[in-house]
Amino acid sequence: MGSELIFRGHEAQHVADTYSPKPPKPWASVTRPIGYLLREQRLVFVLVGIAIATVGFTLLPSSRSPYVNGNVPISNEYVRYDFDSSTHLTHKPAYERRFGLTNWNSGGKVPLGLKRKGLRIVVTGGAGFVGSHLVDRLIERGDSVIVVDNFFTGRKENVMHHFGNPRFELIRHDVVEPLLLEVDQIYHLACPASPVHYKFNPVKTIKTNVVGTLNMLGLAKRIGARFLLTSTSEVYGDPLQHPQVETYWGNVNPIGVRSCYDEGKRTAETLTMDYHRGAGVEVRIARIFNTYGPRMCIDDGRVVSNFVAQVKTIVYILYLYMSLKG
């Protein structure tokens, strides 16, 4: 077998003259890329890139769910209700199915570079005093709003400035009858709020609070919508605790002339929490105390409207006195 003389330093070695491939080095598939990375400071550049990406994503605003340890931060100043966080949601809300968003904090921070997509929202009682202002805010925020109202105390004038807006719809409907809609959120305000109105037909009042709320909660469960109940300070009845905290259970007369409203709203809260714990419906409860402002009925017998009406009467009497006195 021929051989070729190869001079290596002080000694010559004899090698065979037929090619024989080198035996593969063990771990060559591992050591080769490592060697590639280590050459020309490539590893340093990789580590710097990872560090920049980590810092960037850490500082970017996140759209995490508003739930923190089961507490739901209701933004208004009325009441923050602690929910039982042991319940796991079994539904993906409709807007998550539609937009493929998860943990989308619909009213909160929008991830950088994304325009907030409008939601589809139904507001029961949206032609009323509080409801119509809520509708204004939602339309202004870019959402599409369906108002469901039977005009028992509400007025078309409260929402007619939205007529012609393609993102606004008005349905004359009594919530004690079931309603099928595909929306992302339900704000349930339908209920007569003033003593003058709810005492007028107490059975209808409690029916709206119980059957109407059941219908809306059933809809929320069916379509995976988030549900908000506007409750009231009347759930505390004649409170023995001042000021009331949301964990105070109240002191309510179950058989009085106001019970249709007080107990009706308490039952609505019970149903809301039962759908949350039992069916995983995402809910909010806002206990609204005395409110006042544009579109309130001056003669509805509530605290602030009574006060304003009495002041107007006194001013009118003084005006008459001064004009007659000369």
Ligand X SMILES: O=c1ccn([C@@H]2O[C@H](COP(=O)(O)OP(=O)(O)O[C@H]3OC[C@@H](O)[C@H](O)[C@H]3O)[C@@H](O)[C@H]2O)c(=O)[nH]1
Catalytic residues: 261
Distance of closest approach, residue 224 Cβ to ligand X, in angstroms: 24
Q: State the residues that interact with ligand X by CB under 6 A.
A: 124-125, 127-131, 149-154, 174-175, 189-193, 208, 230, 232, 288
Of 110 and 171, which has the nearer Cβ to ligand X?
171
Pair of tokens at residue 129: 């005093």
Question: Which C-beta is closer to ligand X: that of 110 or that of 288?
Answer: 288
Q: At closest approach, how far in Å is the CB of 156 from ligand X?
A: 10
Residue of 212, 213, 252, 208 lying closest to 234 (CA atoms) = 252
Residue indicated by tokens 């609070």: 209
Give the up-direction half-sphere exposure of residue 150: CA atoms within 13 A in the CB hemisphere.
15
Least distance to ligand X, CB of residue 226, Å:
18
Report the relative pairing of strands 226-232 and 283-288 from DSSP bridges.
Answer: parallel
Cβ 97 to ligand X shortest distance, Å: 28
How far is residue 219's CA from residue 182's CA, in Å, rounded to a whole number? 9
Nearer Cβ to ligand X, position 280 or 301? 301
Please state, in angstroms and rounded to a whole number, the distance separating the CA atoms of residues 242 and 266.
19
Nearer residue to ligand X within complex by CB, 226 or 265: 265
Give whole-number Cα distances, 270 to 67, 109, 194, 303, in Å.
21, 31, 22, 26
Determine the angle formed by the axes of helices 42-59 and 28-38, rounding to 10 degrees. Answer: 80
Which is closer to ligand X, CB of 93 or CB of 229?
229
Distance in Å, CB of 132 to ligand X, minimum: 8
CB of 219 to ligand X, least distance (A): 15
User: Shortest distance, CB of residue 294 to ligand X, whole angstroms?
Assistant: 12
Q: Which is nearer to ligand X, 63 or 138 (CB)?
A: 138
Which lies closer to ligand X via its Cβ, residue 125 or residue 224? 125
Give burial (CB, 10 Å; 0-12/13-18/19+) of 105. Answer: middle
Burial 240-255 (b: 16+ CB within 10 A, else e): eeeebeeeeebebeee
Please give the Cα distance from 61 to 57 (Å, whole number): 8
Closest CA to 257 of 301, 308, 304: 301
- Answer yes or no: are the C-beta atoms of 242 and 77 closer than 8 Å: no
Cα–Cα distances (Å) from 62 to 26, 36, 58, 71, 95, in that order, read: 47, 37, 9, 18, 18
